[in-house]
Amino acid sequence: MSIPIRNIYYLLLYSWGHIQPGVLQAVGKDESPDLPNLLAKILLDGVHQILRRGLDRGYVTEIEDTRSPRGKILLNEIVKRQTLLRGVAVCEFDELTPDILHNRILKKTLIKLAGSADVKRSLQRDLAATAKRMPLVNPAQLTAGVFHRVQLSRNTAQYAFLMRVCELIFHTQMPDDKGNSGRFHNLLDDEARMARIFEDFLRNFYRMELDGFTSGAEIMPWAASSQSDGDMALLPVMKTDITLRGEKRTIIADAKYYKEALAGGRYGSKLRSAHLYQLSTYLAHEALRDPGADLSGMLIYPAIGRQLRHEYDLLGRSVMIASVDLSAEWSEIHDELLGLVRR
């Protein structure tokens, strides 16, 4: 599957809840030939904005041997290490510093991208120069879990989008033979990650663009009972990808990122049975919860250069199987997605 870089950028912006008027021109997406250079431009633009405002600072606990005591004096350490013989005390104090986790992640990602052969040399120089503008920040050791340790407040919300960019860069870079800066693998070939991006994109797109509806993932209770609480606890979580609720209509949609929406078989191409079973289960449970609702369902797949539209009456409910052409102009994708609901 080949999606134009401008549309990949839109997918990321919506999936991360960061769509803003004019932001595409600000990062020069039209001049970016591929994802590594696009991410480098996005990161540079965001870090430059933060540097203009000033890096966020936080209090970090420090322990120091000092001749000028401050903060909390650690008597146990003084006695244990006999520091008074040298005329110093051991003190613990909180230091206000920019050397905090989200800044450390930004600096490390700048350095990694500056050393990537997939990034243009001009951008490599800008990345390295920008990292040097953070002299008091030590680069973090990046792992899959470090991004989940970042704690942001309302005052540091501008970091949230950049943390998502850094996390995507981390997961799409493969280390070279020496374990250093790596080459990027094709994000579109990572079906598990693209499935999450596609699902988040659709949910947030409808939340931002579809008037008169709320959009969110919902956990549905099972229409089941048992004499044993333990048996009930074994039932899996039933969570929709997207539930659109309007004043008079409810639409349950499942986002399915597959290179081929139809499954091949001995009897020719067919709709994927597991997807239909899953959607049917959601619809049946929602119908029991609210029997009088105007309820319908959708399965939405990505597609390149072709359109999939099939409509059924399934269990007394309208169900549409549709694809959205991600190679089209963005205005066409926008109208196509809204048109699926308005039908």
Task: Give the pLDDT confidence score for residue 282 in this predicted structure.
Answer: 95
What are 29's two structure tokens? 């997406």
Inter-residue contact 99 to 82 (CB < 8 Å): no
- Do 308 and 329 lie in one domain? The reply is yes
* Strand locations in the chain (E): 58-66, 72-73, 89-97, 173-174, 183-184, 213-216, 219-220, 238-239, 242-246, 249-255, 294-303, 309-314, 317-325
- Contact of 228 with 274, CB cutoff 8 Å: no
Number of other residues whose CB lies within 10 A of the CB of residue 31? 11
Describe the crossing of helices 101-114 and 158-172 by its angle, rounded to 10 degrees: 40
Same domain, 184 and 198: no
Residue range of the domain that includes 173: 5-55+102-189
For residue 238, the SS3 value is strand
**Residue 174, token pair as written in the block:** 């493969």
Query: Is residue 166 domain-shared with residue 301, that is, in the same domain?
Result: no
What is the identity of the amino acid at 265?
G
Query: Do 136 and 234 fall into the same domain?
Result: no
Burial class (CB in 10 A: 0-12, 13-18, 19+), 253: buried
Element at 185 (helix H, strand E): none
121 and 131 in a single domain? The answer is yes
Among 141, 172, 189, the domain boundary falls at: 189
* 142 shares a domain with 26: yes
Short-list 82, 90, 85, CA closest to 64: 90
For residues 23 and 135, membership in a common domain is answered with: yes
261 touches 249 (CB < 8 A): no
Q: Which residues of 172-192 are buried (b: 16+ CB within 10 A; e: fewer)?
A: bbeeeeeeebbebeebbeeee
Statement to judge: residues 175 and 251 lie in one domain: no
Q: What is the structure's pLDDT at 181?
A: 54
Same domain, 270 and 153: no
Q: What is the mean pLDDT of each run of 10 residues along the chain (343 residues)?
A: 83 82 47 80 93 91 84 84 87 88 96 91 95 95 91 87 92 63 74 91 94 94 91 94 94 90 76 92 93 92 82 92 91 92 83
Q: Pick from 219, 90, 115: which is nearest to 175 by CA?
A: 115
Q: How many domains does one find in the chain?
A: 3
Read off the tokens for 325. Answer: 């052409």
Which residues neighbour 10 within 8 Å (Cβ) at sequence distance 6 or greater?
Answer: 19, 24, 330, 333
Asked whether residue 199 falls in the same domain as residue 185, the answer is: no
pLDDT at 155: 82
Domain boundary among 189, 221, 254: 189
Residue 214 and residue 282 in one domain: yes
Four-residue CA torsion sign, 27, 28, 29, 33: negative
Question: Same domain for 251 and 155?
Answer: no
Instruction: Choose one of 47, 74, 97: the last residue of a domain.
Output: 97
The CATH number of whichever domain residue 233 belongs to comes to 3.40.1350
pLDDT reported for residue 22:
43
Residue 25 confidence (pLDDT): 45
Checking DSSP bridges between strand 183-184 and strand 238-239, what pairing results, if any? unpaired
In whole angstroms, give the CA distance from residue 117 to residue 122: 12
